[in-house]
């Protein structure tokens, strides 16, 4: 592969990333654009594309020979029509786990402390005492035990939650998981959980995993999803909430994003919605991650973060 020289930065904060990249590597030519504004001419100019999402409507990738994804999930690049096999695809080494762990802990405490109900009472000038429920001693099932799931587990253990992990293989590298199961045990495990935290990428193996059948086996858990919306059978959620299979849901990701205004989830007081922002890519993280992969290429090595297209991450 020719060494990358013309870098098209199509991240959300592209101007800041271009400026930071230029300061570190003035020998590289960099251009920035929102991914929605990338033109065919940009793609003919660039040899490298840095961004989370594919430019909509880009028929071909022009001269681009390397795509460096600045998000954890690479589904935008593997969904049909998948990026040509000849184009190198890497994924940022930036660690999103700590931020997503805070997102998770914030929602669990919000539920137990009943913050939404207190806010309504305050708005109405109503003195309505309610006892906060303890987080310590509750049980969480964390599905997906990679960097993100591991950070979530560590944060939950730190506040006294009893954590069980579920992964494809049934093992996890992260020490926070003391009890682990393989994914086929999921339907059996959900009935014991107070919190079910999904930290999975979108792959053929994870799509629809949290199905209506699995929901029907829950006994009043709160579902938290910070992975990908496709993992949950979203149309089944209202029934799961109405029947009490789920006590509530905190959702950062959805089958269709932005979540359509017509979705019943918006108006359901048992559902906490955040617009896919639990684990933001930072400017420093994007730049460091890109330069780490570039250094590997410049030293003649395949970057450690090459995406395994069969596994989907």
Gap between the Cα atoms of 71 and 90, Å rounded: 10
> What minimum distance in Å lies between the beta carbon of 125 and ligand GLV?
40
Sheet holding 195-198, edge to edge: 179-182, 162-167, 139-143, 195-198, 221-225, 246-251, 271-273
> What minimum distance in Å lies between the beta carbon of 191 and ligand GLV?
29
Burial class (CB within 10 angstroms; exposed 0-12, middle 13-18, buried 19+) of 51: buried
Pick 90 or 138: Cβ nearer ligand GLV: 90
Half-sphere exposure of 267 (CA within 13 A, CB side): 5
The secondary structure element, H or E, covering residue 216 is helix 212-216
Q: Which of 276, 292, 305, 309 is catalytic?
A: 276
Interacting residue ranges for ligand GLV, rule: CB under 6 A: 71-73, 96, 279
Pick 62 or 227: Cβ nearer ligand GLV: 227
Q: Which of 94, 174, 228, 233 is catalytic?
A: 228
Taking CA atoms, 166 is separated from 2, 81, 199, 285, in Å, by 41, 31, 10, 28
Pick 79 or 132: Cβ nearer ligand GLV: 79
Residue 221: strand, helix, or coil: strand
> What minimum distance in Å lies between the beta carbon of 74 and ligand GLV?
8
The secondary structure element, H or E, covering residue 90 is strand 88-91
Pick 279 or 312: Cβ nearer ligand GLV: 279
Instruction: Select from 234, 223, 231, 222 the least CA-distant residue to 201.
Output: 231
Do the beta carbons of residue 56 and residue 40 sit within 8 Å? no
**Is 257 among the residues known to form the active site?**
yes
Residue nearest to ligand GLV (CB): 71
Strand-pair partners of 90 = 68, 306
> What minimum distance in Å lies between the beta carbon of 227 and ligand GLV?
8
> What minimum distance in Å lies between the beta carbon of 199 and ligand GLV?
11
Q: At which residue do the structure tokens 């069969």 appear? A: 310
Pick 71 or 303: Cβ nearer ligand GLV: 71
Pick 73 or 289: Cβ nearer ligand GLV: 73
Do the beta carbons of residue 61 and residue 240 sit within 8 Å? no
Q: Which of 257, 298, 304, 311 is catalytic?
A: 257
> What minimum distance in Å lies between the beta carbon of 187 and ligand GLV?
26
- Positions marked active-site: 228, 257, 276
């Amino acid at each position: 592969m020719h060494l990358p020289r013309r870098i098209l930065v199509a991240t959300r904060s592209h101007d800041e990333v271009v400026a930071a990249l230029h300061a570190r590597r003035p020998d590289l030519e960099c251009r920035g654009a929102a991914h929605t504004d990338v033109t065919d001419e940009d793609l003919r100019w660039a040899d490298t594309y840095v961004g989370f999402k594919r430019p909509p409507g880009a028929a071909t990738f022009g001269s681009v020979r390397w795509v460096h994804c600045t998000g954890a999930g690479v589904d935008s690049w593997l969904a049909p029509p998948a990026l040509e096999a000849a184009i190198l695809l890497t994924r940022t080494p930036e660690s999103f786990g700590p931020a997503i762990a805070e997102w998770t802990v914030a929602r669990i405490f919000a539920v137990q402390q009943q913050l939404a109900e207190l806010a309504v009472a305050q708005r109405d000038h109503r003195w309505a005492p309610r006892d906060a429920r303890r987080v310590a001693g509750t049980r969480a099932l964390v599905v997906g035990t990679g960097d993100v799931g591991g950070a979530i587990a560590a944060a939950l253990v730190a506040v006294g939650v009893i954590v069980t992990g579920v992964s494809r293989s049934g093992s996890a590298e992260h020490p926070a998981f003391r009890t682990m199961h393989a994914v086929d045990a999921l339907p059996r495990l959900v009935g014991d959980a107070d919190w079910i935290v999904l930290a999975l990428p979108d792959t053929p193996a994870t799509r629809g995993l949290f199905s209506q059948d699995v929901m029907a086996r829950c006994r009043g858990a709160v579902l938290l999803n910070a992975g990908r919306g496709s993992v949950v059978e979203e149309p089944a959620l209202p029934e799961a909430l109405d029947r009490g299979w789920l006590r509530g849901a905190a959702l950062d990701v959805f089958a269709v994003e932005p979540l359509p205004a017509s979705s019943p989830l918006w108006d359901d007081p048992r559902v906490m919605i955040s617009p896919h922002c639990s684990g933001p890519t930072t400017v420093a993280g994007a730049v460091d991650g890109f330069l780490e992969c570039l250094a590997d290429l410049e030293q003649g090595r395949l970057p450690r973060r090459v995406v395994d297209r069969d596994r989907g991450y």
